[in-house]
Amino acid sequence: MHGKFLKLFFASVAALLFFTCAFADSYDGGDYNELNSYLSNRQSSRPADKTAKPAPSRTNDKTLKGFLARGKLLAYLLYAFFAGGTTLVVLILNKMEDAAFGGHTLEAAEPGVITNNTPEIIFALRDGDTSFSPDQFLEKAKEVFKTLKNAYNLRDINKLPLMAQEQYTEHKTKIGLYIENKQINECEIRGFEEAYFYKYDKTAEYEYLLVLLKAELTNYVIDAGSGAIIRGDPKEFLTERWLLNFRRDARVLEPTKNYKPVAVVCPYCGAPALFNNFGHCVYCNTIIKAGNYEWFLFDFDKIWPDSRYAPGGVFVNNKRTDRYEKLNG
């Protein structure tokens, strides 16, 4: 936090000095010379006045120009000093942040490659949450994926899994379009070939956990009335990879064996609601954000052959740390 503030402060000072230099460079005494010439002309065109004060001398004019020149030089020197100092400070702060988290910059992997970082991510999660079970979580991720596809099969938004409000709105719209067009998106999941952890990022407020799923499935669209195939082939099994991003509040831990559903109050209608897998209020049908209670689907992407992702691993405040990778080694 302090590092970001210092970077912003020095950048602002450098920008201010830059504009000061630009202003000083554009002001070369021309306005003063024009004013001096105008007053001299008026003085020569008027009758002699013994009480009038003498016009400014050339000595005073040179003095002003010299003052302006020195001011410009000082402004440039200050700008050069702060510009160089800002660059140095930013580099030092970046190094300090990387040293604090054991971080380093990651280059994008080869197209379509999503690295498996399961061992170090398990170390990191169990460091703060001893009840975390990787097997249970991966099974949960598979069930979330199945539930999502099943909601499209049934064209029922109430069957959507617990997810972020933005994701819920997006899928609600898509399912609504299938209903409007009298179509059904049929999807049958035959099985999962791979399921592993790709990335874990912990901030002061949230934890993000990204899981890769490689599924074998069918995916086609039929007419809701006649059952005729509109696109796709029900006999063709496809292999798709998806990246599911789960999020929870940073202070939440995995449920223990004695865990019971948490009674919550719907923030929209105020009615008591029981927290469940779908996270909907039974009274107003509004999704209840459940990050305060457990992991929920925050975002997800289909991985295409040309998709590029960084190697992943364990992150703290979006900075890669290798402390758990060393433990694993």
Give the residue carrying structure tokens 């209903």. 179
Tokens describing residue 291 = 């990050």
CB-CB contact of 245 with 238 (8 Å): no
**78 Cβ contact list (under 8 Å, min separation 6):** 17, 20
- Rounded to two decimals, what is the model's pTM? 0.62
Mean pLDDT by 10 residues, the chain (329 residues): 50 58 50 49 52 51 55 63 61 48 51 89 91 93 95 92 86 95 96 96 93 97 96 94 92 58 56 49 57 77 88 91 70
Q: What is the DSSP letter of 286?
A: P
Q: Where are the beta strands (DSSP E) in 129-259?
A: 183-202, 206-223, 229-231, 238-249
Tokens describing residue 184 = 């059904």
User: In whole angstroms, what is the distance from residue 224 CA to residue 329 CA?
Assistant: 54
**3 Cβ contact list (under 8 Å, min separation 6):** 93, 96, 97
Q: What is the pLDDT of residues 230-265, one digit of tens each?
A: 999 999 999 999 999 999 888 777 655 444 444 455
User: In whole angstroms, what is the distance from residue 70 CA to residue 158 CA?
Assistant: 73
CB-CB contact of 193 with 138 (8 Å): no
Query: How many CB atoms neighbour CB 8 within 10 A?
Result: 10
Query: How many CB atoms neighbour CB 261 within 10 A?
Result: 11
Helix (H) or strand (E) holding 273: strand 272-274
Half-sphere exposure of 109 (CA within 13 A, CB side): 13
User: In whole angstroms, what is the distance from residue 55 CA to residue 53 CA?
Assistant: 7
Give the residue carrying structure tokens 């999807």. 187
Q: What is the pLDDT of residues 145-189, one digit of tens each?
A: 999 999 999 999 888 888 888 888 899 999 999 999 999 999 999
Tokens describing residue 314 = 């364990």
Q: Quote the distance between the C-alpha of residue 62 and its chain's center.
A: 57
The class level of CATH for 118-328 reads: alpha beta
Domain residue extents for the chain: 2-101, 118-328
User: In whole angstroms, what is the distance from residue 168 CA to residue 230 CA?
Assistant: 26
User: In whole angstroms, what is the distance from residue 297 CA to residue 163 CA?
Assistant: 4
- If DSSP codes are grouped into helix, strand and coil, which group holds residue 298? strand
**307 Cβ contact list (under 8 Å, min separation 6):** 111, 112, 301
Query: How many CB atoms neighbour CB 251 within 10 A?
Result: 10
Strands 183-202 and 313-316: what pairing?
Answer: parallel
User: In whole angstroms, what is the distance from residue 329 CA to residue 322 CA?
Assistant: 10
User: In whole angstroms, what is the distance from residue 110 CA to residue 119 CA?
Assistant: 21
Query: How many CB atoms neighbour CB 299 within 10 A?
Result: 15
